[in-house]
Structure 1
């Protein structure tokens, strides 16, 4: 027996099973009856067993082997159809699962609303979310471990930069807000009053720390960073406790009117506002529609933060 019967022969066999005669199967397939008879004969020879009992003047009868083959062929054809549907979906950029990496504050402050907006639409793709910082996520995009990375860039020269390794889409600019702890009943602090305070920021060579130093250098000031952490939530906790002043992404304090905890420092009118750029990073090529939809929703979410 051949390792795998010819699919064309199996298709003819199933037509005979469905129609009950060689002649009707030939008419249904557009063959001459002798071609159908030859297909069945070749299939039986390949299988090494009789599949049909041929009795002149009566309908064909399936042998036990024929019945088993008909059931197996039906299963095979159903699986083939499902495979074809899946292959067509893949070629049309439909996917079963999308692996999305994002930095912690995006995960906690942007994605809940976005996923809530996506859920009622009944999209087929399952979205698997992974918390990962930009520097750790970029190699995973390149290797295929992530399909999409939501990243940030504090300075234009910071990665990710344009290359053939990925596609970069700018989602917008997230404001960075200089804040202090709450001062109930007192006016907000001005920048000059914060220079004698302790500041919190990232470690010496982290992107936010380098942005702070560049900004301070342009203003001719020297903030005293004594509380170093890469965790923005820890940074915010220090500020809320009145221990420091620092630059915080606006998404983390966008709801502060409902839950007071920090106050914005009043900057001189000539001081340009700071921001970090939020990016969507994916591999080069055609992106599945669900990625484009996520990108659109993230752009809208960032616009609401800026407004």
Structure 2
């Protein structure tokens, strides 16, 4: 027996099984009947067993070996068809699973609505969403562990940057809002009212801390940061408790709590001096060059629109 079956002989044999005779199989395949008979005989020689009981003038009868081979051959051709479909899909950059990394506030405030609009499962695609900060996600994109990373950048000179390993698409800019705890009587809070208060921001040399220092330097002020954390939810909790002032991404703040004082432990915007430059961070989609499938492009487009709504 040969190590690999002759697919042409197997295909002819299955046609004989399906149509019930050499002549009918020959008509279906466009062969002469003698060619079909030769194919079946050659297959029997390769396997060393009889596959068909040939009786002149009657329908062909499959032997037990013939029935077993017919089932195995049908499974083989079905698997081959599935493989070809999968290979064609891969060539068209279709995927069964898209591994997406994103920073925590994007997952909680952008992705629920975006994934509901995309409905990947209805299209046979599973989006595996992984919460990861930008600095930790970039190596995973390079290694191929992540297909797409939704990242942020506070300063243009900071990572991520485009390279031979990383392709970047800007989704837009997310506004940062200077907020404090609610004031008694709904009194507006101006920046000068916050200069003697404690502030919260990132660690000493983190991008958001450096952005804060750059902004403060342009205004000639020196806010005192006493709560250093990379956890935005911790920052917001301290601000809501009236213990600190800080810049928070607009998407993290409930829309009903961003304009003036709102009751129930909310926050209020700090009124900035006229002409103050807006604070914001850029949001980017990061992938390996040339590897982004169509559904990833659709996801990026939806995230771009969702981010635009946050900034509106």
Say yes or no: TM over 0.5.
Answer: yes
Deviations 1:20-43 (A, max 9, x none): 222221221111222212211111
Displacement, 1:285? 0.7
What's the counterpart of residue 286 of structure 2?
Answer: 281
The Cα shift of 1:253 comes to: 1.2
Q: Alpha-carbon deviation of 1:120? A: 8.5
Q: CA deviation at 1:164?
A: 1.3
Report the TM-score when normalising by structure 1.
Answer: 0.96
- Structure 2 residue 29 is matched with structure 1 residue 29: yes
- Contact 2:120-2:127 within 8 A present in 1 as well: no
**1:246-261 paired onto structure 2 within 5 Å:** 246-257=246-257, 260=263, 261=266
Matched, 1:298 2:303: yes
SS in 2 for 1:301: helix
Higher mean displacement: 251-260 or 266-275 = 251-260
Where does 1:1-307 land on structure 2 (aligned, <5 Å)? 1-119=1-119, 122-257=122-257, 260=263, 261-307=266-312
After superposition, the C-alpha distances for 1:182-228 in whole angstroms (9 at most, x for unaligned) are 11314222112211111100000111001101111121111111111
Mean CA deviation greater in 147-156 or 114-123: 114-123
Distance 1:184 1:32 in 2: 96
TM-score (norm 2): 0.94
Mark the runs of 5 or more structure 1 residues left unpaired by the alignment: none
Secondary structure of the 1:71 match is helix
Is the contact made by 2:174 and 2:251 (CA closer than 8 Å) also made in structure 1? yes
Tell me by how many angstroms 1:273 deviates: 0.5
Alpha-carbon distance in structure 1 between the residues aligned to 2:237 and 2:219: 27
Report if the CA contact (8 A) 1:174-1:250 is conserved.
yes
Q: Cα RMSD (Å) of the superposition?
A: 1.6
Alpha-carbon spacing, 1:163–1:6, altered in 2? closer, same or farther (3 Å) = same
What SS class does the counterpart of residue 247 from structure 2 fall into?
A: strand
Measure, in 1, the Cα distance between the counterparts of 2:178 and 2:34: 87
Runs of 4+ displaced beyond 3 Å: 256-260
Do the aligned residues in 2 keep the contact of 1:254 with 1:305 (CA within 8 Å)?
Answer: no
Structure 2 CA distance, aligned partners of 1:220 and 1:189? 19
3-state SS of 2:152 partner: strand
Q: What CA distance in whole angstroms lies between the structure 2 residues aligned with 1:52 and 1:207?
A: 76
